[in-house]
Structure 1
Amino acid sequence: MRSIGEMARDGGLSVSALRFYDRAGVLVPAWVDPVSGYRWYEPEQLEESRLLARLRRAGMPLADIRLVLAAWSGMDTVLVRGLLQAHLRRLELGLSDARREFSTLRALLDHRENPMTSPRTATARLSVPAPELAAALDAVRFAAGTDAELPMLGGILFDIEGEGLHLVATDRYRMAVAQARTTGHGGSRVQAIVPLPLADAMRALLNGEESVQLAVDGDRVTLETGDRQTAGQSLGHDFPDYRRLVHLPAGHRAHVDTAAFREALETGPVRASETRKHDGEPHELSVLRVTENGTVILCDDGDDDQNNVAVNREFLLHALAAGARDELVLELGAPTAPLAIRRPDDEDSFSMLMPVRLEN
């Protein structure tokens, strides 16, 4: 028999993935040690593991994978071929629909081209208290994207309007917004997407208590503090309209002690997500619920309450650290609504995490 480590090495699935598929009843080990809980697999299950890995890479739903594996072990090749063909057909239809929709969207984008001055080509010069700008950068930096296919998300949006400065970062799965007070602008809206290396260089200069000078001139962004300066080009893209994304339906609000909640997350129960990371591993999820007395609890694996909200545990830990408060407010709505992490003393600085659908 093969140990779970040997099965992971030879079968194309990680150890955490094998544990997930065991709990899902898809690839159940032949024997589990009643004392240690260690999983063991029969030699013929190696072929099933490799088949399962291929089906997941092809994006087949878990329910269909169960049928394929059952038919495979029963030598029902007709059913297997039928399931594979049906999934391939779904993929082809989906791709055809996506191409048609994207063609329409490109035409709409062409019609929206506007010769008027956009917020990305305007200029602004303003003063910002160094501690506030530093805190804002720290609050949003973790949420910036790294996907080369979406370069507009690979930086931090500096959104200047009136006397306010909002910093925004998102990688689609999480978003963070922070604000800082300014003086000296007071005009129309000006935006610049500051690439992460430049944002980090700015942060390195923000060690004092005095105000610093921020200038946006078209595609060039400059930060001056005392006799030091850092400057660079902004990203030549449009940032999503984050203001349309932050209006959430009312949810259950709960105050949490940040240190205690972080410890509970690090040591508490987790579940594996169907969504894969870049290395092929499932994400670890924390499943949360607000109780009737207003406290947040971590739900065990067998807890399937309809009000449970599952989020990426690593992302939630990052958001707690970026919140930089001993106490934070968690706002949980429906299982399909984003989880908001807010500061009790600054409702305009917050982060949001997209929920992850749980497999039943």
Structure 2
Amino acid sequence: MRSIGEMARDSGLSVSALRFYDRAGVLVPAWVDPVSGYRWYGPGQLEEARLLARLRRAGMPLADIRLVLAGWAGADTDLVRGLLQAHLRRLERGLSDARGEFSTLRALLDHRENPMTSPRTTTARISLSAPELAAALDAVRFAAGTNPELPMLGGILFDIEGEDLTVVATDRYRMAVARAAATGQDGSRVQAVVPLPLADAMRALLQGEEPVRLTVEGDRVRLESGDRQAAGQCLDHDFPDYRRLVRLPEGRRVLVAAAALREALQAGPVRASEVREQEGEFYDVSVVRIEDGGTVTVREDGDDDPDDVGVNRAFLLEALAAGARDELVLELGAPTAPLAIRRPDDEGAFSILMPVRLEN
């Protein structure tokens, strides 16, 4: 028998992935300790786990993987070969379609006569309240990207315009926006993408109540608090136009007690019919809904109601914590529309989460 840690090491699947596949009924342990809940796997399950890992790396849907594993166990080679061939054809068609679309996009880029540039000026110097800037950074830090293939998302956008500093972070699956009042800018717009380590160093300076000074000079940015400072180079990438991305279709809004909703998410059911993976990490899907009476419920798996919205549970928990209010406004639209979390006393601070498509 192998422990779950040994199974993870020998199969190439992570411990979290093995837990997901157990809950989804794809690779169920041979024995589970009734007291500790610890999982143990039989000798014959290692081959299944390695096969499962290969199929997931090839992008095969979980429903087909179940059939492949069943055929493999039953020595039904015709079934297995047929499923593998069908998936390969799907991949080839998808690759062909993607190549056509990217060819068109490259042609459009080559023929653009006036490429878009970010609205940066040479210098900007502003003064800000340390607590306000700290709160703004805390409200968006959780949504920053960490994918090295998307370096433009590996920082926090500082967008200075008039008497406002807007800070924005996104990893494509979620976005957070917050604002702090600023003085000293002449009204022209200046943007700087501050890398995460520098943004974290800036946040560490914001301990007192005295105003702080933020300076952007070319590709350099500096935050000064008393005789201390955090300075460095901005990311040499344009940040996505967040103003376009936050134009959401109108949805149903409800005022929720943040602590109660967090408790409901942590204790409530998760969607067990599909294992979800995002950039190599597995996550739980919670199904939420605004009821007719204006309450928010975390739904049972299998209740395929058109008003149900699937969401990455960990992301929603982080967004609720970053909201930093006892009460928050939850906004739900269609199951395909982003979910929004807003502060009732500050419309300028909010986060949006992309929904998870629920499989029937």
- TM interval, shorter chain, is 0.7 to 0.9
CA deviation profile, 1:8-50 (whole Å, cap 9, x unmatched): 6665555654564455454567899999999887765554343
Q: Larger deviation: 13-22 or 221-230?
A: 13-22
- Contact residue 291 and residue 297 of structure 2 kept, 8 A: yes
Q: Tell me whether 1:299 sits opposite 2:299 in the alignment.
A: yes
Counterpart in 2 of 1:323?
323
Give the structure 2 partner of residue 54 of structure 1: 54
Q: Percent identity between the aligned chains?
A: 80
**Aligned equivalents of 2:158, 2:38: Cα separation in 1:** 51
Mapping for residues 283-294 of structure 1, pairs under 5 Å: 283-294=283-294
Partner of 1:145: 145
Checking the alignment, whether the CA contact within 8 Å between 1:173 and 1:353 is kept in structure 2 is yes
**Match for residue 131 of structure 2?**
131
CA deviations over 1:212-256 (Å, ceiling 9, x no partner): 222212211122233332221110001111111111112121212
Deviates more, 1:324-333 or 1:216-225: 216-225
Residue in structure 2 matched with residue 240 of structure 1 by the alignment: 240
Q: Residue type matched to 1:179 in 2?
A: R
Superposed CA RMSD in Å reads 3.0
Paired residues, number: 359
Q: Which amino acid aligns with 1:274?
A: V
Alignment partners' CA distance in 1, 2:328 and 2:271: 24
CA deviations on 1:61-80 (whole Å, 9 max, x unpaired) are 22322332343344332332
Q: In 1, distance between residues paired with 2:172 and 2:287? A: 20
Q: Which runs of 5+ in 1 are unaligned?
A: none
1:88 and 1:108, CA in 2 relative to 1: closer, same or farther beyond 3 A? Answer: same
C-alpha contact 1:121 1:219 (8 A) present in aligned 2? no
Q: Is this contact kept in 1: 2:155–2:196, CA < 8 A?
A: yes
* Counterparts of 2:295 and 2:332, CA distance in 1: 11
Summarize the Cα distance change of 1:212–1:117 in structure 2 as closer, same or farther, 3 Å threshold.
same
Matched with 2:163 is 163
Which residue of structure 2 lines up, in the alignment, with residue 276 of structure 1? 277
**C-alpha separation between the residues in 1 aligned to 2:22 and 2:207?**
51
Amino acid at match of 2:167: L
Q: Partner letter of residue 196 of structure 2?
A: L
Q: Which deviates more from structure 2 when the two are superposed, residues 114-123 or residues 151-160? A: 114-123
Task: Output the amino acid matched with 2:248.
Answer: L
**Taking structure 1 as the reference length, what is the TM-score of the superposition?**
0.87
Would the aligned equivalents of 1:176 and 1:351 in 2 still touch at CA under 8 Å? yes
Q: Name the CA shift for 1:152/1:11 in 2 (closer, same or farther; >3 Å).
A: closer
Is the deviation greater in 95-104 or in 294-303?
95-104
Q: In structure 1, how many angstroms separate the alpha carbons of the residues matched to 2:37 and 2:130? A: 54
Alignment partners' CA distance in 2, 1:359 and 1:69? 20
Q: 1:252-267, aligned counterparts within 5 Å?
A: 252-267=252-267
Residues 162 and 187, structure 2, Cα contact 8 Å, conserved in 1: yes
Amino acid at match of 2:288: L
Cα deviation, residue 334, structure 1: 1.4
CA contact (8 A) 1:120 1:219 kept: no
Q: Which residue in 1 is equivalent to 2:106?
A: 106
